[in-house]
Structure 1
Amino acid sequence: MKTNKRPRSRRLYLSIVFYGLGLFASEARAGGILIYEAGQEGNGLSNAGAAALANDPSVLMSNPAGITELSGTQISANAQVIFGNIRFSRDGNNQFDGNEGGNALQYLPGASLFISHQLDEKTAIGFGMYGNFGLALDYDDDWAGRYFAQEAAIIGVSFQPTLAYKFTDDLSVGVGPRFMYAYYRTEMAINNNVLSLLDRPDGQLEYKDTDLGTGVNLGLLYRLNERTRLGLAYTSKINLEFKDSPQLRDVSNPLLNTALGRLGVDDLQLDLQVPQTLLFSVAHALDSQWTLLGSLGWQDWSEFGSIGVEVDTNAAGVSRTVDRQYKDTWHASVGTQYQATPKLRWNMGLGYDSSAVDDKDRTVDNPMGETWRLSTGINYQLEEGLDLHMAYTLVWLGDMDDEQTKARSGDTLSGTYHDAALHIIGGGATWRF
């Protein structure tokens, strides 16, 4: 099949989560992995103890109550890069022509900024700007799955003012209104060869829009004893609504144009909801050097599995049969901090996240599965009031089979993502005044 070439550019985003969308959807939902890493020192812990630790102002992202543990004024500035391997390999059941798409995930830089200020012995305020929700997938133009997705991208940047109050010496609470500015873009090929009557080049569909959503982060921090702290944090869902007119290029088949007209493409609305989450963490100091950490979490993805609208080129029909079948995900992680010297702290963590889809429901525009995290990092006190930190996380997805069939034409895209993985490298500095 001939294809029209689209401009090639590798777009840069703050963080990633794999996002599913049908070939042409009137309603689609986010689904997949929230990134715990935002460049902060906790990158090296795989999210272990995230709601119970309060080493720097980045704790307000995981638990707003944690900033009551920070003295004076503190500023943490961070940067990171995410890269990896997401490569599709066809198998004998595949019925689409084209190549295998190359590495759909390139590199994704990001940044974050956190500030905390102690007003008095009980009250603290803070502010965070970070990106822990997003996506960037970019396949080759003429790959076998081009009618499902060529490019999918979403970025969500959160702005979070925070207020925390210490009710007793042992119990603190925190609240952080969260404002997320989100950008969405998708691009896919459209098959002009309805009924295979002519050998026509592919058409093109592009859709992009921005929106602002609001939510809230809530947290409790409780000191069980001198060695043990417990943290409980909740983040509400954020509703995002993208509504714009898709750009259609080179759609030369009149039957297909008629079908697209039935979908009302002049006013296409995509509703996306960032999921609500719940996280429980514990931090226990064994002695002056070793601290043991753990977390258990839940993410409400099941609400977001939606019925999409598919444009199939067999008979220019419209079929509402794309069900993403998302389900809730669960997180568990363990880690440790080792204070090797008065100035050097070493972090280690191991984490697991269940998959938001079963193997049979995996899609090439949403190639996700269960994930394992292995992290390590260091924090070094360069001088009084200035710490530097650096961390690395391996996010392992392994082999992920994928088989998708067009509802009306019956054509099947089939293959496997072999050894899929992400690498996250981050670092930054924390100033204390």
Structure 2
Amino acid sequence: MSAKDLRRSGSPFTSRNSVRATLSLLGATGLFVSSLSAQAGGIMIYEAGHEGTGLANAGSAVLATDPSVLMTNPAGISQLAGTQINFNAQVILGDLSFSRDSANTFSGNEGGNALKYLPGSSFFISHELDDRSTIGFGMYGNFGLALDYDDDWAGRYFTQESAIIGVSFQPTYAYKISDDLSIGFGPRFMLGYFRTEVAVNNNVLGLGNADDGQLRYKDTDWGTGANIGLLYNLNDRTRLGVAWTSKVKLEFEDRPELKNITNPLLRFALNRVDVDQLSIDMNVPQTVTTSVSYQLDPQWTLLGSLGWQDWSDFGKVGVEVDTDAASTSRTADRQYKDTWHVSLGAQNQINPKLRWNVGVAYDSSAVEDKDRTVDNPMNESWRLATGFNYALQENLDMHMSYTLVYLADMEVQQTKSRSGGSVSGEYKNAALHVIGGGLVWRF
């Protein structure tokens, strides 16, 4: 039976923090070669189907047009009158296909398109208590990534399938300190889901022709954090906003599932692994975002954002048991670094019912080219976004948006430091396509 026959069906979850993993190998003789890897990583997703998606995150900390602003700046709901409800849905389509080059040493195909689609939704509500105080609640997912390669691809000993997703639940309170200054706070409760599948090489020291085995691992965990924001009206035309989200720690711990381990030496070693102690801890990164909006005239408004994400605290350690004839290593470095975001956008109020949005954004990469891995092939990215908001009725708006996230070409050469095999190649013209829309009711 091959690893492909052993896979479980089901759609991957993600879309992204310190990764610490311990896999204790007790009494191993060091006379076998195996490769077990667990992925932890992801991308910070600005898109949640809300109207701001069409601005590529430009002005996200000042754009108080509906309750979704509590996700990016809790103080923003202080600007919303009455009760407002916002429901959104979106789908992320991917083009992330790997091509091998001459440095690749593993057999197998090229894996297919590893990022096919990822659906998502979000829900927000705000309620004005009085002239100063507003409460709200949001449920959204803006962290994660899911990859699903063919089981028998050339990089199967690094990953076959990996997913990490965080869904946040955020009650929020905002208060107007004055007519121009507001503050907002929201505790954030995140439900995290982690899953990985990876092939296990049954052929000791490259000898034999046995089918691959497989390791599967999945778990869920709750983490807590906070969102805090300030909103300030500098004058009648200019609004400033700043928001901070704390890190959220997720701790996954479960027994891995091992299948089809036919090599007796490998089975002997894995049977002595204290698998209950396989734990993966990660920190969803803290972020800081500053935004500005400037109303040129009754029709045009310009927006911009500058942001920072603490990916260096996401994690530098992943699980990878890599064995040669002399010794065994149990971890693999993930050299993540902090990232920066900048975005510019514009809104055009074409008529009293129709508003058009457009934006462009740049995010730096969380990894150097030499540290890129197939379980999370990050790169710098450009966003091009557009969308519209249309008033169907006096108290009901509809919005839709499209975003292109362009990752360009990403070269990868990932090598087992002890056993020496490499998966090497390129993701050419990698890109994501995000299509979303939603409704806003006002009462």
Name the TM-score, length of structure 1 as normaliser. 0.95
For residue 43 of structure 2, give the secondary structure of its aligned residue in structure 1: coil
Distance 1:264 1:20, change over 3 A: same
Residue type of the alignment partner of 1:423: H
| Counterpart-to-counterpart distance in 1, 2:90 and 2:12 | 12
1:25-424 aligned at under 5 Å gives the runs 29-30=40-41, 32-261=42-271, 263-312=273-322, 314-315=324-325, 317-320=327-330, 322-424=332-434
Identity across aligned pairs (percent)?
66
Distance 1:104 1:316, change over 3 A: farther
| Counterpart-to-counterpart distance in 1, 2:304 and 2:282 | 31
Question: Structure 1 residue 355: deviation in Å?
Answer: 0.4
| Counterpart-to-counterpart distance in 2, 1:181 and 1:21 | 19
Instruction: Answer whether contact 1:87 1:417 (CA < 8 A) is retained.
Output: yes
Question: Structure 1 residue 33: deviation in Å?
Answer: 2.1
1:14-33 aligned at under 5 Å gives the runs 16-17=15-16, 24=36, 29-30=40-41, 32-33=42-43
| Counterpart-to-counterpart distance in 1, 2:37 and 2:108 | 24
Instruction: Answer whether contact 1:321 1:407 (CA < 8 A) is retained.
Output: no
Residue type of the alignment partner of 2:401: A
For residue 5 of structure 1, give the secondary structure of its aligned residue in structure 2: helix
Correspondence for 2:24: none
Query: Which stretch shows the higher mean deviation, 129-138 or 140-149?
Result: 129-138
Distance 1:316 1:65, change over 3 A: farther
Question: Structure 1 residue 153: deviation in Å?
Answer: 1.1
Question: Structure 1 residue 134: deviation in Å?
Answer: 1.7
Question: Structure 1 residue 198: deviation in Å?
Answer: 2.0
| Counterpart-to-counterpart distance in 2, 1:407 and 1:256 | 19
| Counterpart-to-counterpart distance in 2, 1:82 and 1:18 | 23
Instruction: Answer whether contact 2:389 2:400 (CA < 8 A) is retained.
Output: yes
1:354-410 superposed Cα distances (whole Å, 9 cap, x missing partner): 000000000000111000000000000011100000000000001000001101111
| Counterpart-to-counterpart distance in 2, 1:137 and 1:20 | 18
Distance 1:17 1:307, change over 3 A: closer
Consecutive unaligned residues of structure 2, counting only runs of 5 or more, are 22-34
1:397-425 superposed Cα distances (whole Å, 9 cap, x missing partner): 01000001101111111000001000000
RMSD of equivalent CA atoms: 2.0
2:442 maps to 1:432:
yes
Correspondence for 1:9: 9
| Counterpart-to-counterpart distance in 1, 2:74 and 2:417 | 46
Question: Structure 1 residue 259: deviation in Å?
Answer: 3.8
Distance 1:226 1:379, change over 3 A: same
| Counterpart-to-counterpart distance in 2, 1:266 and 1:122 | 51
Residue type of the alignment partner of 1:325: Q
For residue 366 of structure 1, give the secondary structure of its aligned residue in structure 2: coil
Query: Which stretch shows the higher mean deviation, 84-93 or 266-275?
Result: 266-275
For residue 310 of structure 1, give the secondary structure of its aligned residue in structure 2: strand
Instruction: Answer whether contact 1:79 1:110 (CA < 8 A) is retained.
Output: yes
1:76-122 superposed Cα distances (whole Å, 9 cap, x missing partner): 00000110101010001110000000000111111100000000011
Instruction: Answer whether contact 2:238 2:294 (CA < 8 A) is retained.
Output: yes
Consecutive unaligned residues of structure 1, counting only runs of 5 or more, are none
| Counterpart-to-counterpart distance in 1, 2:84 and 2:144 | 27
Distance 1:91 1:12, change over 3 A: closer
Q: How many pairs were matched up?
A: 430
Instruction: Answer whether contact 1:133 1:155 (CA < 8 A) is retained.
Output: yes
| Counterpart-to-counterpart distance in 2, 1:136 and 1:332 | 25
Distance 1:108 1:19, change over 3 A: farther
1:238-265 superposed Cα distances (whole Å, 9 cap, x missing partner): 0001111000011122322344356522
Instruction: Answer whether contact 1:2 1:200 (CA < 8 A) is retained.
Output: no
